[in-house]
Structure 1
Amino acid sequence: MQATPELPSPDRIFQVLQDAASQDYVVAQAASAQLDVFRTIPGVFYMVQMAANERNLPLDVRKMAIFQFKNVVPQQWRRAALYPENVKQDIRSGMFRFLDEPDDIIAQTNAIAMAKIARIDFPRAWPDVGSQLLEVIGTNSQAIYINSNTDPRALLVLRRALGALNQIIKELTPAKIPLLASAVLGLVHQVQEALLPIYGYATATFSNNLSPETLASDDKLNHIRIAHFTFKCIVKCITFMWHRTRVKGFEVAEPVVKGFFGTAVTHFIALSTLRSSLFQANLSQNLIQSPTQSYLSRHVRLYGKYFRKTQVYSPQQFVRLPHCRELVLHYWERVVAASGAPPTTIQDSDNAMYPIRFLTQALSIFKDALAQWSPIRQPDNQEVLPREFVEGAIDLIVNRLLLLDEQDLEKWSEEPEEWINIEEGDSDAWEYGVRPCAERVLMTLATQYGDYVEPMIRTYLQRVREHPATDLPSIIKQEAVYCAVGRCAHRLKDIDFDSWISQSLAQEALDPNPIYRIIKRRIAWLFGRWYAERSLSQSREKVYEILVHLISAQGEGSDLAIRLTAATALENCINSVNFEIPVFHPFITPSLSALLQLVADTESQDAKRRVIRSINTLIDNVKEAIVPSLGDIIGPVTQLWQHPEVDIPLRGELISTASSLIKASKENSAPLAPIAAILIRDCLSPILSVQMEDDAINLWLVTLRNSVPNPNPTVPDIFELLPTSIHILNTNLDAVSGACQLIESYLLLDATRVLQLQALPLHQAYLQVYKTAITADVKTVLGTACMMVQLSVDGRLWAEAMHTSGFFAHILSAVIEDRTKNDNTLVLVEFDNIVDAPRRKLVALATAELLATGNKIAVERLATSEALNIWLDVLGELKEALEQRPGEDDQDSPLILYWKQQDEYVLPDKLEDAAETLEFGRRQDLFKRDPVRNIPLKEFIQQKMQQAQAVAGVEFQAALSKVDSATIASIQKQLS
């Protein structure tokens, strides 16, 4: 037994921690290795915790100690050998000694470690962790707010205890295990009851006499911090209850949640109004940037996070909570005030009068409330928002919130690719910008209050059409109107889009004047949106022409933002349900030329990926019409692939391009196979394989499934990679399924060539998987081997390799072993475990074929009735018949099987991607040639028994005479 390492001295531990904090890389690395050794020694990290709490040590050493403690101890906490119960008790107690820690980083790290340990120990081993912290909080809060104690230590301890409690609640509240969730419910009840009075005291003390003169005082800062941390704890508790108000056993939480929400709305409106009044008092820059003002801004935003989480969980219940109407309208009032304020007051900063994150919270809450407050959801006589309010909101959004500001135009000009990526980014990005949020509010208004929105949008549009924009301000307003039209396209049924295109949009899009660039980008976007929502029949050719022009146009009248937007719009048009290849056919070549040039002109990887995605959509939709352009596409794609700075996401899109080209060209894809082989090899290289192996296999499968047999094997093709697929099967147990799909596709393409080139390595790979893989993978490999046998026209191609590799012997080893235990086993072990009807029939066919050889052992075993019983079972299960047609020979009539309808063929789920490929036809042919499908079992058994009798003669009759008469009678009845 290995001896336990000796516990190092405190001085030794201090020295290692000091070295670990060193700026010398060599020293720090050596110390890190020593700390890894310390992890295995019981008691060391209790001493590390003590070092972190030793105030006389250098601060960097103490920080290193607490970091090590936090990273190591929670991970090993369940290991009793390292942390016996007495040590755990000491560590738990030691964490409370950090509650008066002056350094924020050390205190926060200790709180995180405490929470992680509480997550493991609560409620069984550490049931009073919450009570202990609440006792500290209660004692110090009473000293501060009841006894008016101004001791700085009491404020510090209260703040640290609240921080630790916040971390613990954060760690515990996601609990889903019923026992733990029930214990957490008791804790959160206890916490919110204890903290609500403290929050009231802290908020009142902070708000009382708050003015520009008192804003920078330490006293105000201390109390807003306490209020902030207290509220964070309470909010987590209330949110936990809110998510469980409908769960059995948690109903008691509902009145608590509703009561708190109403109180929170009142506090929030007061604090939000207080903050606005401070800014209206013309605060100095120093006061605006003061910690107290920053905490107040964060605190107001924390309310917004709570309200938003509450709303997202249940929008229907949210609008029924107390004072919800006042809350939503207050948020809207803040938005209205911000829309009329100078642009400099709206920034992504807590020091701004209107922080962007506050405004996006306001718009998001307003948007989801609108979805509940509408004539659609309310009775006719209970409309929540009157028409005047809705029309005012629409006017505000279109004429103020949707306008591009100076920052937008500046970013557009300086970094058009980056700006467009943000502007047209992921669907969730709208929650982080005022203008995108406002667009979603407008869409919700159009859906819920369409009767109010439609006439207003039509009026705005008519106005800009009658008075064309001539300067930048009017162009920005026109752009906002076009944006509104696009966002509300799903409701604007009466707009004649075809005439709008011919009368004004086409001229504006083709105008070379640089001032119209803003309008051009929005027109391209509008085409994409309108195609996604509406059907255009008369103007499709004109739209394609305009978009191709915008993609290819360069010079002062265009820029990359316009071209990228047009590329995305063309993608949306092509991907619409009304897309028709004949209509788009004249634009295939110019579209591809423009898009490929745009790929070359863009610099960022994201922009290139956006354009490549548009090319892929075009290829997927025009299908075989892309064949004449194969050479034009594959050259730039391979050139871009070979660029060393191309990132993984862009390479993934390029792989999709190659896949799309091969799928579309099918039997014409032979010239693409060598290119695909290059891409696949690169993806499987050590540099890319971790991230792109799946992409490589998918492209590989697409190439194989859409290939035709190569009449000239000297010409390079996808068979270059056959050894690689076998190597993957042989060495990568995680990729057995994918490797078997590849090998099956190779076999279906040209089984003879596969076996001529790689018969022995293939069977060696089969054997390796059979020996080492899980049962499911072994079954997959056996299925592939069965397909190989079925496809091979010459059994000699696989027979020798199957024998030489040991694969066949290994398959039989289980049968041979069972034969020593049970002399009644012939070919199959536990035949009754086979539930698949075709496989049971296959075993019956094989048994009859084996008997027909006249082999002495096979004939002798006939006496055991094993073969007869298999035949009886299968004959009784199957309902086969030859379809009788007048004037036709029975032998030429198709066989009807009860488990398959005639000509029916369904691919396994994992092969659904092969449904529209050339391989699908090959699989159909194989299926139709399957002996199980074509051979009538009854006639086959009769024929093989006659052959056996002819070959074996006396031995056959002798074996048959040993079978009991009942079995003989049954088999005769079935075969008659």
Structure 2
Amino acid sequence: MDPNIYALVLDTLNRATSQDTEILKPAEKKLEEWEIEPGFYSVLLNVLSNHSVDVNVRWLAVMCFKNGVDRYWRRNAPHAITDEEKMKLRNGLLTSSILSEPVAQIATQEAVLIAKIARFDCPTNWPNLVPDLIGALKAPQPLVQHRSLLIFHHVVKALASKRLIGDRRTFQELTNSVYGFILNLWHENTEIFLRHIQEGAATELITEHLEKALLCLRVLRKLTVFGFRRAHESQDAIAFLNVVFDRAKTSLECRKLLKGRGIYPLELCEKFIIHLTKVALGVLCFHPFSYVPLIRPSLEFALYYCFTEQGMSLIYERFTIQCLNIVKGILQCLEFKLPKGMDQPKEPLTLQAHQVKCEVLTESTVCHMCRHLVTRYFLLSSDDLALWDAEPESFATDEAGESWKYSLRPCTEAVFMELFHEYRSLLAPELVRLLVSLQETPVSPDDLPNILKKDAIYNAVGLAAFDLYDDVDFDEWFTNVLSRELKIKDNNYRIIRRRVCQLIGQWCGVRASQSLRPAMYEALLEPLTRPDEDPAVKLAAAEALRSTIDDFNFKVEQFAPYAHHALAALYELLVESEECDTKMHVLHVISYVMERCGALVSRGGGASALFAYLPQLWQHAASHHMLRAAALAAVVHLVKAVGECAESIRGWVLCVVGEATRAGEPAHVYLLEDALELWLAVLEAARAPDPALLDLAANLYPILEQSTEHLRIVVYIMQAYALLCPEEFFSCEGAKCMALLDDMLSDMRTEGVITVLKMAEICISVTYPERNPFLGVEVIWPILKRVIHCLLEGDDLPMVFSVQLCLLSRVILLSSELFYKAIQDAAKNLPEYESDPVKVLNKLLHVWTEKMNFVTQVERWKVVGLGLAALLTTQNATVLQRFPAILLNLTEVLNDVMKLEDGGTYVDGLVAPPGSRPASPLEGRGAAARWGAAEGAEGGEGAGAAAARSTPHEARRRRLAAAHPAHALDLRAVTHHQLQTLKNQVGAETFERLLQSSDKDTLQQLREYIPL
């Protein structure tokens, strides 16, 4: 290796560790440039292998190497590392300098580095990796043993993460070859460190063997869980699993000794114990039948340490969580439950597991567990109360997701619910007895221990609400007890007030009569509107209010008297809250109230106050993108509820939308989705276009260009612009967007294609005939030619075919000359038709008339029929050659749309009677209602339309719907007029010949509607 290159790289690495940015930045840039240079990683390997080099420099070298593996180790990666250099690197990574690395942090990063390469290359391109590591594990030097074991742990971890069948088979082969050796090594080091602890040996000796035992245990966990198809078929795995809980018991005793001495290995010992429980949880999750022999020892183990005074004196919180998760896993495991309606399960181990559970979890044991969970684990601790006093907002934040895996309170609650669900008939009376006992002896506000006990029991009743449906009369309980407890203002009683709010939220959807709803709203508004109420109680009331609204039995009329009070109180809570997470939580509740209550929100001053506060909140949340997203969502719901965007903040809203939808802005990734919804809401509420709103349209093209992820909402925005200001929009940004959509069509799925085609229909529909009637067609001209090509192929799905044909018919109804021009332009790129427009038109009409029955939606069916009728008088010989087929299809359409009135006359059933209000095809709530008037009446009136607030956008849609050909044109009158005009054009004799060329049944049916 060239010494000059080595020195240059070493010097650059050294400068890249500098604290001076003027030295640091150029060095970092140079290292980035060298990433793709051949031989660079070989130099890095030499640097990190040289123990005389500064630790910080070697640390940076290994990190650069690791990042390079991520980016350039794959063969198909741009600037991939060559196979020759890879071979040198693999050989150099297991040298004595690496295996005897003195710095622990660097050794760990080297192990991760080797594991990353192993995931790509082992065993195919690196067959000697595992044998070399096993050989190094037998070396006499303790440091080499430790580093080899560290590397082996990370390699096994990386290989275990591969999920393809071939990779799993390879990992199973690896497991079979090394399992026995690693198991013996674990036994050996575990025995030594346990003995050293009991004998009071030096900390260094204990630490050395404890670290090795922990690494072996981590390896064994991966091998046991992922290295066997059935773990119980391996004698070594059985031998390992059988000693897991015994080792845990011994280790807990040793932990007690270490804790008494207060020495360093205590933390390592705790990790060792936790990993023993992780082995059990892993096997339980991935090999439930292999776990059957462990059900009894694991349940007895958990019952002793989590539910007895003697056991609880030896444990610590993380261990308690693991034990309770094992209990939860056993209770939850489907393989351990007898199938309903079957006396004998198909799998014998299922019956065995069920029997063991019944033997261990006796009635008395289950009742004891339930009582212990409620009266011990559910009690708020002094730490909880201290946190409540110091940071009430943090205390009130609900832990969500899978927090039960890592946090004690969610864990105990999850175990309680699982236990209660499985043993409902046994535990329901037990919990009711506890609840009744509370009512017999009133609790004084000064009696904190009994207040905490009551809170714990209330918590249990709330968690088990669904299982206590028949056992608790919530109406009576709320009326006589809970509503009164909410009025007790003592500071200690804040604990009960908070819990009562939560109970209302939990029980409202389980068993609360409809007549009780107003009383519940009043009860929740009382703490929300009380100025001196505790923040945690207010937040619980806000969440409970959301639950009462988010209920199947919720009725807006019942909530109406409280709507503006609720919004005002929530606004005050939002302003009072200090933490961003709390503000975000309150904003979600506000958004929900506005979404469910609609126009009620506009009454009172709550809405205007919230409008005024939002810009201030936006500034406050400058570095909290999730809070800003919640603020945007609140503005969306507020604009929709009020029906307009307040002029006082309109400029701010448009500025925010512009920033959040501009691709180059940092917040773009976090805020784009909510900003697009807000953009659409503002457009729908706008009564007239303004320059700021039109300028915003420039952001649409980059969003579409970036990806199709937001295609649907972007098209909704384009439709809203098209209805608001068609000429201004399509003269500039709209035309650019439609051209881009045309380019994207070939790579779109069916749903995306239909979306774009419906947008094209909107383009044709909205331009003003008196000014520029053909602007819309000009905008979609490339799409129109593409549609003709697709129709000629005839391979599209019926839904796509239907929209394509309808689009073409809309063009014909607008201008047959434009239609024929489109045929001519399309023919130029169709050499298979000799670029002859006549042949293209002939084929198109053939496909049209043969497959027209693919159009199943009646409005489109009629529009396509109108398009055919319009072609009859264009004096085109090719069209007249298809006269019989055209007449047949027109007759079939007439059969579908004509209806017989009481007087015996036929009328077009889709034409709105004079003076009536046409049904908007876009009524209804949700995204599906936004497709635009081009859909005809596909959607009909949605269930929520009556409750939806009328907007200027809705009025525009109705006007467009009234002009839709399916509702504005009488098909019978149009067909009659076209046939009469054709007769005048070709003469009576030729017209009669055309009629005679048609089928007699067709003519007979047609004469029922039209005199021929």
Shorter-chain TM-score range: 0.7 to 0.9
How far residue 693 of structure 1 moved from its aligned partner, in angstroms, is: 2.2
Q: Which amino acid aligns with 2:178?
A: V
Cα displacement (A) at 1:415: 0.6
Mapped contact 1:581–1:622 kept (Cα < 8 A): yes
Shift of 1:213: 1.3
* Structure 2 letter corresponding to 1:226: K
| Cα 1:617/1:972, change in 2 over 3 Å | closer
Q: Displacement of 1:112 after TM fit?
A: 1.5
Does residue 694 of the first structure (1) align with residue 680 of the second (2)? no
1:300 and 2:270 correspond:
no
Residue of structure 1 equivalent to 2:160: 173
**Alignment counterpart, residue 656 of structure 1, candidates 626, 633, 643:** 633
Counting only pairs closer than 5 Å after superposition, residues 617-628 of structure 1 correspond to structure 2 as 617-628=592-603
CA distance in 2, matches of 1:743, 1:652: 22
1:571 is aligned, of 542, 546, 550, to 546
C-alpha contact (below 8 Å) 1:199/1:230 kept by paired residues = yes
User: How far, CA to CA, are the matches of 2:653 and 2:339 in structure 1?
Assistant: 54
Deviations 1:44-84 (A, max 9, x none): 21122122112232222222222211111342123597633
- Does residue 438 in structure 1 map to residue 412 in structure 2? yes
Secondary structure of the 2:472 match is: coil
Of the structure 1 ranges 398-407 and 917-926, higher mean CA displacement relative to structure 2 is found in: 917-926
Name the CA shift for 1:222/1:380 in 2 (closer, same or farther; >3 Å): closer
Alignment-derived partner of residue 523 in structure 2: 546
Task: Measure how far apart 1:920 and its partner are.
Answer: 7.5
Distance in 2 (alpha carbons) for counterparts of 1:677 and 1:726: 17
1:94 Cα offset (Å): 0.7
SS at match of 1:883: strand
Letter in 1 for 2:364: E
Q: CA deviation at 1:650?
A: 2.4
Tell whether 2:435 aligns with 1:452. Answer: no
5 Å matches for 1:411-490? 411-421=387-397, 424-470=398-444, 471-490=447-466
| CA distance in 2 between partners of 1:909 and 1:543 (Å) | 28
In the superposition, relative to structure 1, how do residues 721 and 533 fare at CA in structure 2: closer, same or farther (>3 Å)? same
Equivalents in 2 of 1:970, 1:762: separation in Å? 52
| 1:524 shift after superposition | 1.8
Q: Which amino acid aligns with 2:539?
A: L
1:237-636 equivalent positions in 2, closer than 5 A: 237-241=223-227, 245=229, 253-256=230-233, 259=235, 262-281=238-257, 283-284=259-260, 287-291=261-265, 293-313=266-286, 317=289, 320-337=291-308, 354-371=315-332, 383-384=358-359, 385-421=361-397, 424-470=398-444, 471-492=447-468, 493-537=470-514, 539-555=516-532, 558-629=533-604, 631-636=605-610
Q: Are 1:724 and 2:720 an aligned pair?
A: no
**Contact 2:331–2:419 (8 Å) recurs in 1:** yes
User: Would you say how many aligned residue pairs link Structure 1 and Structure 2?
Assistant: 901
AA paired with 1:126? W
Q: Does 1:755 align with 2:726?
A: yes
CA, structure 1 residues 500+860, in 2 after alignment: closer, same or farther (shift >3 Å)?
closer
Q: Does 1:37 align with 2:33?
A: yes
State how far apart, in whole Å, the 1-side matches of 2:773 and 2:248 are: 80
- Which residue is equivalent to 2:740? 769
> Where do 5+ consecutive residues of structure 1 fail to align?
1-5, 141-150, 246-252, 346-352, 897-901
Alpha-carbon distance, 1:945 to partner: 5.1
**Counterpart in 1 of 2:818?**
none
Distance 2:102 2:441 in 1: 66
**SS at the partner of 2:566?**
helix
Question: Which string of whole-angstrom CA distances, capped at 9 and with x for unpartnered residues, describes residues 619-665 of structure 1?
Answer: 33334333313x42232244233331223322333333333344445
Structure 2 counterpart of 1:655, one-letter code: L
Q: Distance in 2 between matches of 1:743 and 1:428?
A: 40
2:66 aligned to which of 59, 66, 70: 70
Instruction: Note if contact 1:42-1:82 (Cα within 8 Å) is conserved in structure 2.
Output: no
Q: Of 12, 17, 29, which residue of structure 2 is paired with 1:16?
A: 12
The answer to which of 530-539 and 689-698 deviates more is 530-539
Percent identity of paired positions between Structure 1 and Structure 2: 22
Does the aligned pair in 2 maintain the 1:789–1:795 contact within 8 Å? no
- Could you report, residue by residue, the CA deviation over 1:580-601 in whole angstroms, capped at 9, with x for unpaired residues? 3343333223322322221121
Q: Deviations over 1:477-505 (max 9, x none)?
A: 22222222222222333333333334433
1:610 CA drift (Å): 2.0
Match of 1:228 in 2: 214
Determine the C-alpha separation between the residues in 2 that align with 1:328 and 1:479. Answer: 28
Aligned to 2:85: 87
Q: Is the 8 A contact 1:938 1:975 kept in 2?
A: no
Pick closer, same or farther for the CA change 1:123–1:283 going to 2, 3 Å: closer
Which residue identity lines up with residue 468 of structure 1 in the other structure? P
Q: What do residues 681-700 of structure 1 show as CA deviations (whole Å, max 9, x unaligned)?
A: 31331464332222122133
Assess if the C-alpha contact under 8 Å between 1:673 and 1:703 holds in 2: no
Q: Residue in 1 aligned with 2:797?
A: none
Question: How does the TM-score come out when normalised to structure 1?
Answer: 0.82
Aligned letter for 1:728?
L
Return the offset for 1:830: 5.6
In 2 relative to 1, CA 931–365 (structure 1 residues): closer, same or farther, beyond 3 Å? Answer: same
Q: Kindly provide the amino acid, as one letter, of the partner of residue 684 in structure 1.
A: G
Query: For residues 105 and 280 of structure 1, what CA distance do their matches in structure 2 show?
Result: 29
**Partners in 1 of 2:973 and 2:602 — Cα distance?**
51
Write out aligned runs for 1:87-166 (5 A).
Answer: 87-97=85-95, 98-137=98-137, 139-140=138-139, 151=140, 153=141, 155-166=142-153
CA displacement, residues 415-470 of structure 1 (integer Å, 9 cap, x when unaligned): 1011111xx22142233332332222222222122233222222222222222223
The one-letter code of the counterpart of 1:575 is: D
Q: Deviations over 1:368-410 (max 9, x none)?
A: 3234678998889983411111121122222221111111111
Aligned counterpart, 2:905:
889
CA distance in 1, matches of 2:699, 2:924: 25
Separation of aligned partners in 2, 1:310 and 1:175: 18
> Alpha-carbon deviation of 1:95?
0.8
- Asked if the contact 2:767/2:774 (under 8 Å) is kept, the reply is no
- Kindly indicate whether the alpha-carbon contact (under 8 Å) linking 1:21 and 1:60 is maintained by their aligned counterparts in 2: yes
Gaps of at least 5 residues in structure 2 are: 341-350, 660-664, 787-821, 913-917, 931-941, 1008-1012
Q: Judge conservation of contact 2:683–2:721 (CA < 8 Å) in 1.
A: yes
**2:906 counterpart letter in structure 1:** D
2:718 to 740, 743, 763: 743
Say whether 1:821 aligns with 2:855: no
Identify if the C-alpha distance between structure 1 residues 845 and 280 changes in structure 2 by more than 3 Å, giving closer, same or farther: closer
**Distance of aligned partners of 1:57 and 1:539 in 2 relative to their CA distance in 1, 3 Å threshold:** same
Whether contact under 8 Å (1:224, 1:296) holds in the other structure is yes
Residue identity in the other structure for 1:135: G
Residue 92 to residue 973, structure 1, CA distance change in 2 (3 Å): farther
Q: Match for 1:196: what amino acid? A: L
Q: CA distance change for structure 1 residues 884 and 355 in 2, over 3 Å: closer, same or farther?
A: same
CA distance in structure 1 between the partners assigned to 2:338 and 2:69 by the alignment: 58
Using the TM superposition, give the Cα deviation of residue 298 of structure 1 relative to its aligned residue in structure 2, in angstroms. 0.6
Distance in 2, Cα, partners of 1:886 & 1:10? 99
Deviates more, 1:46-55 or 1:14-23: 14-23
Q: Residue 846 of structure 1 corresponds to which residue in structure 2?
A: 867
**Is the Cα contact below 8 Å between 1:760 and 1:802 reproduced in 2?**
no
Cα separation, 1, equivalents of 2:527 and 2:610: 21
TM-score, structure 2 as length reference: 0.79
Distance verdict in 2 for CA 1:543–1:737, change over 3 Å: closer
Tell me the distance in 1 between the aligned counterparts of 2:338 and 2:258. 43
Q: Name 2:179's counterpart in structure 1.
A: 192
Q: How do 1:700-719 residues align onto structure 2 when only pairs under 5 Å count?
A: 700-704=679-683, 707=685, 710=687, 713=688
* Distance in 1 between residues matched to 2:213 and 2:553, nearest whole Å: 58
Q: Which residue of 2 aligns with 1:947?
A: 981
SS in 2 for 1:23: coil
1:211 is paired with a residue whose SS is helix
Question: Secondary structure in 2 aligned to 1:182?
Answer: helix
